[in-house]
Structure 1
Amino acid sequence: MPTAVRAALTLLACCALSGRAGAHATSDHFLNLQVDGSSVNGHWDVMLNDLDYVLHLDADQDGRVSNDELAQSGQQARDYLLGHLTVTADGASGGGQPCSLTDSGMQVGRQDNGRFLRLSLTGECAVAPQTLQVSNTLFTDTGDQDTHRGYLNLEYAGQTQTSVFGPGSTAANVSLQAPSKLESLVKFIWLGMTHIWGGLDHVLFLITLLLPSVLRYREGRWQPVGSFREALISVVKVVTAFTVAHSVTLSLAALDVIHLPSRLVEAVIALSVVLAALNNVYPLVRERFLWAVAFAFGLVHGFGFSSVLGELVSDRRALVESLLGFNIGVEIGQLALVAVTVPLIFWLRHTVFYRRLVFAPLSALIAVIGAVWFMERAFAA
């Protein structure tokens, strides 16, 4: 094994054992609110392991928050959640006025990828809102907010609007008017873009397939391609295969034709990152067949995309427009990544720096990160 690769593996293994490398994979939380006149009601679903990471709810440190432990620290969880959520209403005359918001109950549920805490919410605004501002700063004070995304489903008068929270975007301003189809399409395009950029596992999988696009494995070693056209053909095959595959399964899952457990899907996505990265270090699938790898694992990644879309679309009548916009956004996000990555690595392909200090070590690092994710997702309590 090359020294650089061995060093990279050792570094990541040490980090993983320390519990910090990949100790917290990207996680989503979902806030659902319904507005009826001046009343606001709904619920907030947050993964228990995310709350434990911040509040240390697991008192006996057995890796699982029990019902007894949650009963003892329930008020702490309530206070933490409500302390990071603010709802403000603008009436017909303008001027934002805060809405009172309290919890009306708490229960634990289970999804395929683990247990979650559902906090039921009820509130009253001073005026019937024309516009509602929702501020969600959950986990922004932990130092690892990049691993969390929040989604808002706001229902009113038979309509639903969706917003996303994340680093640099902790507030949503929602006009309580029926959005046009174009506005809904643009919103879901943006959600698709932010999802692919925020989904580190999807990004790393695509990068591992792009890294060898400027190289060819000949005579037992990687050698640079002769022209940008040659590299571009390889990239087009890989990206097209990945796009077709995840578009198919995203559509089938969103339309409820096929459903797979999200825990299984997330574990296989992590495994795809590992296998694609290891193939760069020890080539078993040659570069001319990487499109087949992209297609095979792209089918699984499509189910991963659909898990988010399913949570965001409550109005099945708008599913086709939402699916179209979300998929377009994912493709735009992919193409932006390709546009930044491929010219850079093509320019570096002849250098020892790229082949010895970027290509192999980076692939090894990605393999270890993916392995940690796989262990977390496959064997989490």
Structure 2
Amino acid sequence: MDTRLKPVLWLLLGLLLQPWHSALAHDPGISTVRVMPDAAGLSLLFSINASELERFVSLDSDRDAAVSLAEVEAAAAQLRELATSLVRLEPANGSRMPRAGPVALGAQQTIELGVRFDGAVVPVDTQLVFLRLDEFPPDHRLYVSLEQDGALLDARILSARTPQLTVPAQAISTLRLLQTYIAEGVQHIWNGFDHMLFLITLLLPAVLVRRGAGWMPAEGLKPATLELLKVVTAFTVAHSITLSLSVLNILSLPSRLVESLIALSVILAALNNLWPLGRGLRWPLALGFGLLHGFGFASVLSLLGLPAGGQLAALAGFNIGIELGQLALVALLFPPLYLARARVFFQPLVLRAGSVLVILVAGVWLWQRVLPGAA
């Protein structure tokens, strides 16, 4: 093998193998908190996925992979105690000690935890510090929206590395809101291993052309690039449509069904690499399954919510972030694929063996999502 192509091979194998570590675990998650200052103090409402709260409080007592209202009520005292340990105000004083608020079962298996700080809060000297973020899964994010009298003052994405937020004196700008949601869109595509693996699977044969019953290397950069553009554009247009329709509450599907079908779409895309249904069908495949993946993107954005007065900026920013994340992946993957397309190892090792590996990974995802108790 040409020694110059060895790094190319390792890069391709690394990208294909990378999703294995997430196949047996949940992807890095998102929690949200609404911060609502008023003349008498500060209220916070956390929304955290029940599966991630299991590391702090035992909720799923019957082990059926779903938390019920009765199970939440049984653990309410522990949840209230947990809620007061998640945040503090600085500078701190006796009047700013947190007290627990209501506990409720929210949508999509989330738990809502209320916290209240009594006493006047002065925006210019008050900082919220969110504690225990380092005890959540790596790369877990906390989306904070700060609202007052129906206006959005600020929106931030925090993590264990940046757990604090200073209460601002004026409302967030549209540009800042756009930047916040762009960052979350990029983060989501790079943590959304099923979406990433689907795109990789579509790109593997983009540098090849179908000849009879087999594949042949593309004859030049132009036809390979055109094929790439068709696939990426079809996927982008499709998921943008269903993302918008779902977030705007025009059309939606059950989240478990969507996640299961996304895993199935990855399997079918890989099978098409092994036994193509026909010439030139990759971009229609990307278009059709892109509609499905849009619902998956929407489930994340629905957790974040579209802030009052900034719905269009938030939706546009999240969509732009997804596209930037996709383009970064394509820019990383396409050059080595093109360089390696005519090498003897490419079709047996990268295309065929890689597609078999994809089927195995996505098969585990499908099994976990259809039978969540097995995860």
CA 1:159–1:363 in structure 2 vs 1: closer, same or farther (change >3 Å)? Answer: farther
Structure-2 residue corresponding to 1:29? 31
- Say whether 1:193 aligns with 2:186: yes
Task: Specify the code of the residue in structure 2 equivalent to 1:198.
Answer: N
Which of 115, 126, 129 does residue 123 from structure 2 map onto? 129
Q: How far apart are residue 234 of structure 1 and its match?
A: 0.9
Structure-1 residue corresponding to 2:238? 245
Whole-angstrom CA distance in 2 between matches of 1:368 and 1:167: 33
Whole-angstrom CA distance in 2 between matches of 1:352 and 1:138: 51
Q: How far apart are residue 74 of structure 1 and its match?
A: 4.6
Whole-angstrom CA distance in 1 between matches of 2:56 and 2:250: 38
Alignment of 1:34-183 (within 5 A): 34-37=36-39, 39-52=41-54, 55=57, 57-58=59-60, 61=63, 63-65=65-67, 73-80=75-82, 82-83=84-85, 85-89=86-90, 96-97=91-92, 99-111=96-108, 115-124=109-118, 127-130=121-124, 133-136=127-130, 140-141=134-135, 144-146=137-139, 148-160=140-152, 161-166=154-159, 168-173=161-166, 175-183=168-176
Structure-2 residue corresponding to 1:320? 312
Whole-angstrom CA distance in 2 between matches of 1:207 and 1:22: 20
Q: How far apart are residue 116 of structure 1 and its match?
A: 2.6
CA 1:165–1:199 in structure 2 vs 1: closer, same or farther (change >3 Å)? Answer: farther
- Say whether 1:290 aligns with 2:292: no
| 8 Å Cα contact 1:100-1:125 kept in structure 2 | no
Alignment of 1:214-253 (within 5 A): 214-253=207-246
Structure-1 residue corresponding to 2:352? 360
Which of 302, 322, 330 does residue 322 from structure 2 map onto? 330
- Residues 62-107 of structure 1 deviation map (CA, whole Å, 9 limit, x = unaligned): 5455666656655544445544x33435xxxxxx447532322322
CA 1:329–1:59 in structure 2 vs 1: closer, same or farther (change >3 Å)? Answer: closer
CA 1:171–1:87 in structure 2 vs 1: closer, same or farther (change >3 Å)? Answer: same
Task: Specify the code of the residue in structure 2 equivalent to 1:178.
Answer: A
- Show structure 1 runs of 5+ residues with no match: 1-7, 90-95
Task: Specify the code of the residue in structure 2 equivalent to 1:264.
Answer: L
- Say whether 1:348 aligns with 2:340: yes
* Fraction of identical pairs, as percent: 37
| 8 Å Cα contact 1:106-1:118 kept in structure 2 | yes
Task: Specify the code of the residue in structure 1 equivalent to 2:25.
Answer: A
Task: Specify the code of the residue in structure 2 equivalent to 1:140.
Answer: D
Q: How far apart are residue 275 of structure 1 and its match?
A: 1.7
| 8 Å Cα contact 2:150-2:308 kept in structure 1 | no
Structure-2 residue corresponding to 1:371? 363
Q: What RMSD, in angstroms, separates the aligned Cα atoms of the two structures? A: 3.2
Q: How far apart are residue 203 of structure 1 and its match?
A: 1.4
Whole-angstrom CA distance in 2 between matches of 1:291 and 1:138: 44
- Show structure 2 runs of 5+ residues with no match: 1-12
CA 1:315–1:70 in structure 2 vs 1: closer, same or farther (change >3 Å)? Answer: closer
* More moved, 70-79 vs 364-373: 70-79
CA 1:197–1:23 in structure 2 vs 1: closer, same or farther (change >3 Å)? Answer: closer
TM-score (norm 1): 0.79
Whole-angstrom CA distance in 2 between matches of 1:344 and 1:168: 33
Structure-2 residue corresponding to 1:184? 177
Whole-angstrom CA distance in 2 between matches of 1:116 and 1:214: 43
- Residues 225-266 of structure 1 deviation map (CA, whole Å, 9 limit, x = unaligned): 222222111110011111111111222223322222223222
Whole-angstrom CA distance in 1 between matches of 2:198 and 2:310: 31
| 8 Å Cα contact 1:38-1:128 kept in structure 2 | no
CA 1:166–1:268 in structure 2 vs 1: closer, same or farther (change >3 Å)? Answer: farther
* More moved, 160-169 vs 193-202: 160-169
Whole-angstrom CA distance in 1 between matches of 2:119 and 2:349: 58
TM-score (norm 2): 0.81
How many residue pairs are counted as aligned between the two chains?
353
- Say whether 1:254 aligns with 2:254: no
